[in-house]
Amino acid sequence: MPRSALMNVMVQAAMKAGRGLARDFGEVQNLQVSVKGPGDFVSQADRRAEKTIFDELSRARPGYGFLMEEGGTVEGTDGQHRWIVDPLDGTTNFLHGIPHFAVSIALERQGQLVAGLIFNPATDELYTAERGGGAYLNDRRLRVANRGRLSDCVVACGVPHLGRGNHGQFLVELRHVMGEVVGVRREGSAALDLAYVAAGRLDGYWERYLSPWDMAAGIVLVREAGGFVTDLNDGDDMFGRGEVIAGNERMRQALAEAVRRPLKTATH
């Protein structure tokens, strides 16, 4: 699959950061037995990966701005372009030695998402997409699953963790969705959940309480794989509302209706 110069830049940055994370992941697995635990080590791995990505992208595209999980906002002189970077999505998995985590890089041009990359260095799976160019897993073209009934579907979600989110609301949503689908998965990485929707491995996915870097690259992937991504009100304010729902056209709508149903009934 021929890649554009822009995507080559993104791939080079992700691969370099991924090599460091793969090495660090091996160390984390060893640290599991220590009394102190691997928490401090993982935060250092996160920062190292982000610095690698920042340095690589800045060198290749000087002047582009950044929005990063660790480093926050860096204004660029370009004014038209902004990288959105999560150097380690799935930190809790990484922390516990679970090989389901990813580097996530997206590019905004004049406020529109135009490119996305998600790379899991533990499995060597590289997901890439550019607007108008399709979505790929390594060199294989991706399409979202085409199932038409929730009763045939496996969907993923994000579970609010300790001290964050509305647990009661989520449990009501989950009860409604569980009653309509084959299975629900919680895998611990928003970026990879969206990549799996793009690859047809998952039929749908929803989550609240997200940040832009959790979902930016995955949004591009799903759309370029023929899928639909919105906020939970069928709008396009995923970043502003901190939420996302994705699938093929029919499944995204059916899943959204199932997720919203308890909220509607609660008001009557």
Which positions make up the binding site for Mg(2+)? 69, 86, 88-89, 214
Q: Where is the binding site, in residues?
A: 69, 86, 88-89, 214
Distance, in Å, from the CA atom of 114 to the CA atom of 220, rounded to the nearest integer, reads: 7
- Nearest 5°: the CA angle 248, 252, 258 is 150
Question: Does residue 183 sit in helix, strand or coil?
Answer: strand
Query: Which segments within 64-209 are labelled E, that is strand?
Result: 65-68, 72-74, 81-89, 102-109, 112-120, 125-130, 134-137, 140-141, 154-157, 183-185, 204-207
Residue 248 CA to residue 73 CA, distance in Å, equals 33
Helices (H), ranges, 96-157: none
User: Could you give the CA distance from residue 79 to residue 65 in angstroms, rounded to a whole number?
Assistant: 7
CA distance 80 to 144: 30
